[in-house]
A and B are shown apart, each in its own frame.
Chain A
């Protein structure tokens, strides 16, 4: 079994640009999660999908953030009009139906200049 994969691993962008990250979960995991981690902090929950349905969104997910999982497989997280405060590590995790443990990918590190 391959683990959760995320692309790109690193992204540098200028303030005001849009960025999109991709997450491929572990095969047959129907649940997918996005978290954000800033320096020196633990990950914070952003949103959660069960198959293609987005079931929960954090207040951290402002209007500039949108996540999709169109076919219930991979997911994308888009940030529009990036701000310097968006600089963080964006982590994706997946879990199987009925499973309590979330397995994380390597993350995408975003730097907004």
Chain B
């Protein structure tokens, strides 16, 4: 069985602060993919980043960075110098290999950036 846990229900930070969103996953598969999606008030899920289980290298893409640690089954996501437009619900998702196409989502973290 697969499970994704986002323990932070809501986070509020002042604009320009850095913020980290936590994600913990469970799977017995050795090959899997992890994702972060953003859902603004309009409702559309916007793809942000993807990581596969073989690559634990952490990267930075613009204001986004992520910390993938297999030892703790965590895939945390950081926004640097937050902006009001970053306000949204953020979802972490897991997809395993071997023909299983579905994404398993966490319950989301509502991020509010205070101007």
Contact = CB atoms under 8 A, between A and B. Distances in A.
Interface residues on B, range: 20 to 34
A42 B44 contact: no
Given A42-B91, A42-B108, A102 B43 contact: no
Interface residues of A, number: 25
Classify the interface of chain A: helix, strand, loop or mixed. strand
Contacts of B4: 42
A33 B101 contact: yes
Interface in B79-97: 91, 93, 95
Given A91-B45, A104-B45, A105-B44, A43 B105 contact: yes
Interface in A75-113: 89, 91, 93, 100-107, 109
B33 interface: yes
Interface string B69-113: 000000000000000000000010101000011111111100000
A80 B10 CA distance: 36
A45 interface: yes
B8 to A, nearest CB: 14
Interface in A28-66: 31, 33, 35, 40-45, 48, 55-56, 58
A104 B44 contact: yes
B42 A100 contact: no
Contacts of B46: 104
Contacts of A105: 44
